[in-house]
Amino acid sequence: MQIMLCAICNIASGNCSEDCKYCTQSSYVKTNIQKYRRKEIAQIVLEAKMAKKNEALGFCLVTAGLGLDDEKLEYVCEAAYAVKKAEPNLLLIACNGLATLDQLKELKKVGFFSYNHNLESSKEFFPQICTSHTWESRFETNLRAKEAGLMLCCGGIYGMGESQDDRKSFRESLKELQPFSSPINFFIANENLNLQVPKMSADEALDIIRESKRDLGETILMVAGGREWVLGERQYEIFEAGAAAIVVGDYLTTKGEEPSKDIIRLKEMGFSFASECH
């Protein structure tokens, strides 16, 4: 079986105006994450080369903040040009929050393959984890990304205190959007966050992947943040449960599995790595 690996590059970190309770980049919480307005383009290229070496097919340029403005868009495009030049076979993914149709069309024009904007949870539960912007504004950005001709990468985070009904409703909304790929994150506890909930069990996490596969059959399910935290030694059972992609390397503000460990283990399990998308 072939699986897809994606790497994340946090090109503008922290100091976000929004109050998402699950996020260490929100300026509403005091965390000791690295904060910077812009990562050097040379460093982004270096990380893209590393991602390619680590068998990644997707390379996601992420910026903290509510959305894009002209200056940020220009920077994201500049980074994309540089990465494309250095590693033309990486598929570029943009993850820059709320965006207008024109901004998304611009991203498509400079060569982005897809846009990632997570709904995070159900429409009903979202106001409990964020009050500074609406779930609907996220949903609409996803619709616009499709309209702009970008492939859609849309998912969310499980284990933030949402109910089973919320999970169902969340997946119903994803079904409506029919994303090309869908990240499944498991909430990672952090004592500084205003969200303090019990850690979910590995069995529950694997059930979530199975249910997602059942509900979103055509979508590539990508297990992202929290894989190591929630699943521990059982993290490679995710493929049997229905996942077909993972994030390789570090996440936005937390350490991930050592890529070499993932690669060795996945090869031992008989997996090969996707080098193109159909």
Please tell me what DSSP assigns to residue 254.
Answer: S
**Dist. CA 238–CA 1, nearest whole Å:** 13
Q: Interface with ligand SF4 includes 16 (CB under 6 A)?
A: yes
In the structure encoding, which two tokens stand for residue 261, read together?
Answer: 């460990």
Q: How far is CA 55 from the centre of its chain?
A: 17
Number of residues counted as binding ligand SF4 (CB under 6 A): 10
The smaller minimum CB distance to ligand SF4, of residues 18 and 55, is found at: 18
Beta strand segments in the chain, E: 2-12, 58-63, 91-95, 114-116, 151-153, 156-158, 181-186, 220-223, 245-247, 272-273
Q: Which of 20, 95, 222, 230 binds ligand SF4 (CB under 6 A)?
A: 20
Span 88-107, contacts to ligand SF4 by CB under 6 A: 97
Tell the smallest beta-carbon distance from residue 1 to ligand SF4 (Å): 32
In the structure encoding, which two tokens stand for residue 63, read together?
Answer: 């910026």
The stretch near ligand SF4 (CB under 6 A) out of 20-28, 154-162, 198-206, 221-229 is 20-28
User: Around 218, how many Cα atoms within 13 Å sit in the side-chain half-sphere?
Assistant: 9
**Dist. CA 152–CA 93, nearest whole Å:** 9
Q: Which of 7, 8, 11, 26 binds ligand SF4 (CB under 6 A)?
A: 26
Name the burial class of residue 66, with classes exposed (0-12), middle (13-18) and buried (19+) by CB atoms within 10 angstroms of its CB.
middle
Q: Which of 41, 50, 66, 277 binds ligand SF4 (CB under 6 A)?
A: 66
Q: Interface with ligand SF4 includes 10 (CB under 6 A)?
A: no
Strands 114-116 and 151-153: parallel
Residues listed for the chain: 278
Q: Interface with ligand SF4 includes 18 (CB under 6 A)?
A: yes
Q: Interface with ligand SF4 includes 135 (CB under 6 A)?
A: no
The stretch near ligand SF4 (CB under 6 A) out of 19-27, 100-108, 186-194, 262-270 is 19-27
The smaller minimum CB distance to ligand SF4, of residues 64 and 246, is found at: 64
The smaller minimum CB distance to ligand SF4, of residues 188 and 241, is found at: 188
The smaller minimum CB distance to ligand SF4, of residues 179 and 259, is found at: 179
Q: Interface with ligand SF4 includes 33 (CB under 6 A)?
A: no
Tell the smallest beta-carbon distance from residue 259 to ligand SF4 (Å): 24
Q: Interface with ligand SF4 includes 23 (CB under 6 A)?
A: yes
The smaller minimum CB distance to ligand SF4, of residues 52 and 133, is found at: 133
Please tell me what DSSP assigns to residue 237.
Answer: G
What residues have CB less than 8 Å from 158, skipping those under 6 apart? 167, 184, 185, 186, 187, 200, 205, 208
* Residue ranges that bind ligand SF4, judged by CB under 6 A: 16, 18, 20, 23, 25-26, 64-66, 97
